[in-house]
Structures are given as C-alpha cells and as structure tokens.
Amino acid sequence: MSAYVVSRPVWRRFRPRFLSRAAAHVRAGGHAAIVLPDERVDLLLSIGEDGKLTELGLWSLLSIEQQRFRRVGEGPAKGLATARVKRQYEGSVLDWCERDSTHPGAIREVALDCLSCGACCHDANVLLDEVDLARFRDAGRGDLTGRAYVRRARDGKITLRFAASGRCQHLCEDRRCAIYEIRPDNCRAFVVGSEACLSAREETLGIRDGAPAEP
C-alpha cells in the first residue's frame, strides 16, 4: 500500500503572554511558534513517552536545518521541547502557521499517496550505502550501481545521480518510482506528512496542503 492517512500537527503562532494556551495546543498534538517581543521565534514541540522529540517534531527541526533543542524546565510549558529558530527560517515557520490557520484543532488528518506524488523525488540529495548497492545487485539490477545512476565523490560518499532538470532518473512520467520495491534506505526514511514532505509537495506540485482524509 502506498496510500497513508497521516495525523500531522497543526501549527499555531502565539505571543509569550499566551504561553499556557500554546503549551495546551502542543500537548494536544500540535506545534507552536512563540513570537517574542523582538520578533524572534521559538518553537514549542511535544516530547514522546520515550523522552525524545516525536518523529514529526524532529523532521520539523530538520526542515529548518536544526537538530538541537532543550527541554523546558519550568512554567506552563514544562517538559516540552523548545528551540530558537534561525533568522533565515523564521519566515518559513510563520508561513506554516499561516498555512494551518484555516484548520481547526491541534491535529489534521491528510491522505497522501506516495506512488502518485513523487514530490520528494526532485532536487534531493539521496545518499547510498553498501546495503543499498547490494539490494540493487540482489534484485538483478547491478546496472543501478554504475556511473549512469550514481555519483561517487572523492570523500567516498555515494549518491543517486539526478537528471539535469533536478528530477530523479527513476521517477516515471506518471510520478511512480520505477524502483520502489528496491529504493534506497534514504528514500524509505523520508517521513510522509512531515514538513519536508509538505514543502516538497508545495514547491513541486503546487499543492499547498494535503487533501483531507476520507471520512
């Protein structure tokens, strides 16, 4: 099955005086952007039962090229995760809030079908390792390990070779992946419904948000 119904966090923006509301929104499953008096932006994200960021929370950070966060030690948001957004990504985070402003609640369900999308198969940097290359060979596709399909850098890194247009060579005209069953682990790890996924859909397909899940 390639179709997924994803429950994703809804983004909201708050001023610091409404921190209690922001914390309640995050504990209900949403994500919050706290706009400070100097217009800097802090994220407020939920922590899972394992004490780590939720997967979609982590990918929200990765989408703005951040990984570090800290646990709030006191106050209404105690126990949640927070991180200061880099200046160059403040606009992106506030745009997520604007995008979600029409959606009620803290969680939004969207239906996504990877095999009819292919948005993440453009302008990507897909790293390969020996497990991926062995998977190609074991499937009788040793040709996929050659120069026509992979790049080998001097530092030893191996990546998929994309077309000059920025499109993955394995993406068919109907947006299906020609090697989906043996696709690289880097592709398998891409989280459906993450901010990276939604951003790729908007930039590549012009879809501002996923379609609502079927009732």
Of 112, 137, 161, the residue that ends a domain is 112
Q: Answer yes or no: do 51 and 88 share one domain.
A: yes
Of 112, 139, 160, the residue that ends a domain is 112
Q: Answer yes or no: do 48 and 145 share one domain.
A: no
Q: Which residue type occupies 19?
A: L
How long a stretch of residues is the chain? Answer: 215
Q: Answer yes or no: do 96 and 124 share one domain.
A: no
Give, for all 215 residues of the chain, the pLDDT tens digit.
456 788 999 999 999 999 999 999 999 999 999 999 999 999 999 998 888 999 999 999 999 999 899 999 999 999 999 999 999 999 999 999 999 999 999 999 988 888 888 999 998 899 999 999 999 999 999 999 999 999 999 999 999 999 999 999 999 988 889 999 999 999 999 999 999 999 999 998 888 886 665 55
Cα angle value 123/129/134 (rounded, 5°)? 115
> If we measure between CA atoms, which residue out of 62, 169, 178 comes closest to residue 126?
169
In a domain, 54, yes or no: yes
pLDDT for the residue numbered 1: 45
Q: Answer yes or no: do 124 and 189 share one domain.
A: yes
Q: Answer yes or no: do 100 and 161 share one domain.
A: no
What residue numbers bound the domain in which 176 lies? 115-202
Residues 6 or more apart from 165 whose CB is under 8 A from it?
A: none
Q: Answer yes or no: do 95 and 26 share one domain.
A: yes
Q: Cα separation of 163 and 169, whole Å?
A: 6
The radius of gyration of the chain from alpha carbons, rounded to an integer in Å, stands at: 19
Cα separations (Å) of 29 from 22, 79, 173? 11, 14, 37
Q: Answer yes or no: do 91 and 168 share one domain.
A: no
Q: Answer yes or no: do 46 and 93 share one domain.
A: yes
Q: Answer yes or no: do 89 and 119 share one domain.
A: no
- Answer whether 82's CB lies under 8 Å from 45's CB: yes
In a domain, 209, yes or no: no
Q: Collect contacts of 175-178 with beta carbons under 8 A, ≥24 apart.
A: 175/115, 175/116, 175/117, 175/118, 176/115, 176/116, 176/118, 177/115, 177/118, 177/121
In a domain, 213, yes or no: no
Q: Answer yes or no: do 75 and 127 share one domain.
A: no
- DSSP lists the bridge partners of residue 9 as 107
Strands 31-35 and 11-14: parallel
Number of domains in the chain: 2
Cα separations (Å) of 197 from 34, 118, 131, 192, 193? 23, 10, 24, 6, 6
